Amino acid sequence: MLELQNVNSGYGETQVLHGMNLTAEKGRVLAVLGRNGAGKSTTLKTIMGLLPVRSGTILFDGAQLHGRRPFDVASAGIAYVPETRDIFPSLTVRENLEIAAGRFPPSAGAEAWTLERVLDIFPRLGERMENGGTQLSGGEQQMLAIARALLLNPRLLILDEPTEGLAPIIVKLIHDKLKDLREAGMSMVLVEQNFGFATSLADDVAVVSKGQVVWTGTPGEIRSDTALQHRWLGV
């Protein structure tokens, strides 16, 4: 579904990705793990067109993705939930959601994401519809960021550190909601420092170090290999 082939990218004169090769399959969750500074978030930003591809290829369902603007990447069917969440603080929850609702049509045969449908998943947002972004807790902001992304009717949802800074009870709630999405067939790429959270959701795991994938396998394989965890993740 999504394939990065020998991708090089970075910030200004600083190169972060050094021949990144990564594949995310349709209907599966890929967890991208690695230490801080390994290039995980840079990978997501490069996929979304927020950082330029210096060389290499990014394909989405066989079509070239690199060189396209972030809006065009989103219209191709990829929704991005950044680590910073990036909700509009001066807008209400309703307005944040309405900005995304109906902007892109669902893929053929897929059920459209509507306000009612995302509020079924995150009923807390239904109680906060007229509250501004600055009045939301961190967990509510994360729910809003995910709900807004779903309203873009994505074929692939990519999430950067969705549990960052959240209380354990909210982490479990987010985990359960993402699990529901996975079971409904949503394809996802998940960057996450929380090892247990990531491996319990993932179908496939890729470990990144110094801008390259250094290991791929199953969640069970990496959970059972403590030497691998210590070497690449510091777990």
Q: Is the pLDDT of residue 75 over 90?
A: yes
Residue 29: strand pairing partners: 188
Amino acid symbol at 19: G
Domains contained in the chain, CATH given: 1-39+51-67+202-235 (3.40.50.300), 73-187 (3.40.50.300)
Q: Is the pLDDT of residue 235 over 90?
A: no
Mean pLDDT of 146-167: 95
Amino acid symbol at 143: M
> How far apart are alpha carbons 145 and 80 in whole angstroms?
9
- The secondary structure of 54-93 as a DSSP string is EEEEEEETTEE-TT--HHHHHHHTEEEE-TT----TTSBH
Is 81 within 8 Å of 45 (Cβ atoms)? Answer: no
pLDDT of residue 229: 93
Amino acid symbol at 158: I
SS3 of residue 38 by DSSP: coil
Amino acid symbol at 57: T
Instruction: Show Cβ contacts of residue 143 under 8 Å, excluding neighbours closer than 6 positions.
Output: 122, 124, 125, 174, 177
Give the CA diameter of the chain. Answer: 50
Q: Is the pLDDT of residue 231 over 70?
A: yes
Q: Is the pLDDT of residue 154 over 90?
A: yes
At 178-226, the pLDDT tens digits run 999 999 999 999 999 999 999 999 999 999 999 999 999 999 999 999 9
Q: Is the pLDDT of residue 106 over 90?
A: no
> How far apart are alpha carbons 186 and 77 in whole angstroms?
12
